[in-house]
Structure 1
Amino acid sequence: MSRNLFFKKLARFVRRLSCLFLSDRKFLERKYKKKKGELPDLDNPKNFSEKLLYLMLHYRNPLESLCADKLYVNEYLNALGYGHTMKKILAVYNNADEIDFDALPEEFFIKVNHVSGNNMIVNKKTNPDYNKIRSFFSEVLKINYYYVDREPQYRSIRPVIICEECLRDKTGCLPTDYKFYCFNGEPLYYMVSYGEFEHKVQNHKFDMSGKSIDFHFKKKETIDAASVILPNNFDEMVEMVNKLCKPFPHVRVDLYNIDGRIIFGELTFYSNGGIVDIFDKDYDKEIGSWIDLNKYKRDMI
């Protein structure tokens, strides 16, 4: 057994063991204190992260689990008339040994449906090690992502491997990410993010009128707001986001736009595992006020 494989298995064991000794609430309190230096108020939550953690503990909408599944979220898109925005799925596999690399194109994107990250672009021209890829995804399939951050929507997802088209624009560049942050069924700000696929992320946040709000989130901006040029059909993207986010107290809707083609990315309910680092503490509380917990009492436990 390799050293990396041993530590991956050990990490899975420790996460599952922690569930025997730490309730979800205790786990989230400890995690919050480690990141922010104080305990969260989960009885009377006020800031953004406290509201997210409260929802993680109490909000149970079955639609969240379906939409967190990167395969079955396509059913939600179809139901709302946005099936045409889905990425082209090339193959779905229940285990890594099934992956038929010969049947897949020269370049493709491979991911799983049940965790955050753990994906890659495979380009056959680079002579990739298919055994290493199979070994990597074999381990990823064993992860129950609920045990990582106690996000309830991941608990019952049946893991599969998805191979899909690799998105590139007409110049061959990887796409820009547009992330819309939605509260009480309405998008209230968005982030334009470059370098997500290359793991060299630079981004900038704007309110829905296009005004920069990046200074609330970090001390120093990573890209100039003036350098961000939105697609001509950006209004169509916002219209789509408005429909996708409608049932939820909070969700982040990720879209791409390649040469005018709007493409769905994913729905994320608890960014950063529910603990969001916001430089401006007053703005953190303002964002928290955008989530009206009373509106969703029927779905609380």
Structure 2
Amino acid sequence: MFISNLEWRMFCTSMRFYKKHGYWPNIRQPKTFNEKIQYRKFFQKHALFQTCSDKYAVREYVTKLVGDEFLVPLIAVVDTPDDLEFAHYGDNFVIKANHDSGSVFLCRDGQFDQNYITKRLAKKLAENSGKKRNEPWYSQIQPKILVEQLLVAQDGKLPEDYKFHVFNSLGGQKFFLQVDYDRQTKHSRCIYDEFGQVTEISLNKPSNQQPLPQIKNYTKMVELALKLAEPFDYVRVDLYNLDGHIYFGELTFAHGSGFRKFTPQKYDREWGDLWELSASF
């Protein structure tokens, strides 16, 4: 019996999905949030998916919509690891690949392993992360390496990463805010509703039910997240807040590639109900 490459990839994805979530996904007619991520990966197309997943090209998108004052200062852009000039970047900087998720190297107080970073980057730039994750928009990006300023708060800490899960529908915009705490020790993740109230939701990490701290310019953060999310039926908008100055992080179209488990599981369906899938365009 002949099976197409698409059907085989969907079957393999469904097997992994079942092991993670405990139910077999209906990718072609999705209902839950994680099913709809799988549907997007295989069937939904959008003219901005590639541009906004490219960590370099997305800077122009952000500039046009909200202004370049929200961009992390860019130090350099190069094509290969051999083009990196570590001695010219100061003591605090970030090196990242523009075409995948996770290739980020923090260089702080002059402490970094140049050999390790260049070897890892060479490996990452040779990978087709879109094919590996079934997220085709990454495959279309021309790989580059970005060097950005490392954001450090006045107290010496790295700024919090605020992830806004934004749903756009005919009824308007709705969002949930994800905040991770103590990444290096007892990693927890709290999900807050649009009114800033902590929910019972755990999303792949336990929640410590911590109330949302007071955040400088939080209203402006929400405004920016909703603006950047406008063209999409769902997107995750990541922002940083450095002593009240807001910086853009990234746009993510397939949170956790659709393999992040909700507890209680009912929220997988509730978030799915919020996501009104649009036709590809």
TM-score, normalization by structure 2? 0.90
Q: Where does residue 297 of structure 1 map in the other structure?
A: 279
Q: Which amino acid aligns with 1:156?
A: Q
Question: In 2, distance between residues paired with 1:48 and 1:232?
Answer: 31
Question: In 2, distance between residues paired with 1:97 and 1:290?
Answer: 46
Q: Which amino acid aligns with 2:241?
A: N
| Aligned-CA RMSD value | 2.2
Q: CA deviation at 1:262?
A: 0.4
Q: CA deviation at 1:202?
A: 2.7
Q: Where does residue 245 of structure 2 map in the other structure?
A: 261
8 A contact 1:189–1:205 mirrored in 2: yes
- Does residue 146 of structure 2 align to residue 162 of structure 1? yes
Q: CA deviation at 1:187?
A: 3.9
Q: Where does residue 220 of structure 2 map in the other structure?
A: 236
8 A contact 1:48–1:276 mirrored in 2: no
8 A contact 1:193–1:204 mirrored in 2: yes
Question: In 2, distance between residues paired with 1:199 and 1:163?
Answer: 27
Secondary structure of the structure 2 residue equivalent to 1:139: helix
Q: Which amino acid aligns with 1:297?
A: A
Q: CA deviation at 1:244?
A: 0.5
More helix by share: 1
Pick which of 173-182 and 53-62 moved more: 53-62
Change (3 A) 1:238 1:225: same
Q: CA deviation at 1:230?
A: 2.9
- Does residue 183 of structure 2 align to residue 189 of structure 1? no
- Give the 5 Å matches for 1:38-117: 38-117=23-102
| 1:31 aligns with one of 16, 22, 25 | 16
Secondary structure of the structure 1 residue equivalent to 2:66: coil
Question: Which consecutive unaligned segments of at least 5 residues does structure 1 have?
Answer: 1-18
Q: CA deviation at 1:39?
A: 1.8
Q: Where does residue 193 of structure 2 map in the other structure?
A: 207
Change (3 A) 1:298 1:166: closer
Change (3 A) 1:222 1:115: same
Q: Which amino acid aligns with 2:17?
A: Y
TM-score, normalization by structure 1? 0.85
Pick which of 41-50 and 231-240 moved more: 41-50
Question: In 2, distance between residues paired with 1:152 and 1:37?
Answer: 26
Q: Where does residue 270 of structure 2 map in the other structure?
A: 286
Pick which of 63-72 and 202-211 moved more: 202-211
| 1:271 aligns with one of 247, 255, 265 | 255
8 A contact 1:183–1:291 mirrored in 2: yes
In the alignment of these two chains, the number of paired residues is 275
Give CA deviations for 1:106-158 in whole Å, capped at 9, x if unaligned: 121111111111211123643x3322221111111111111221012212111
Q: CA deviation at 1:275?
A: 2.4
Q: Percent identity?
A: 32
- Give the 5 Å matches for 1:10-29: 23-29=8-14
Question: In 2, distance between residues paired with 1:51 and 1:207?
Answer: 21
Secondary structure of the structure 2 residue equivalent to 1:192: strand
Change (3 A) 1:124 1:174: closer
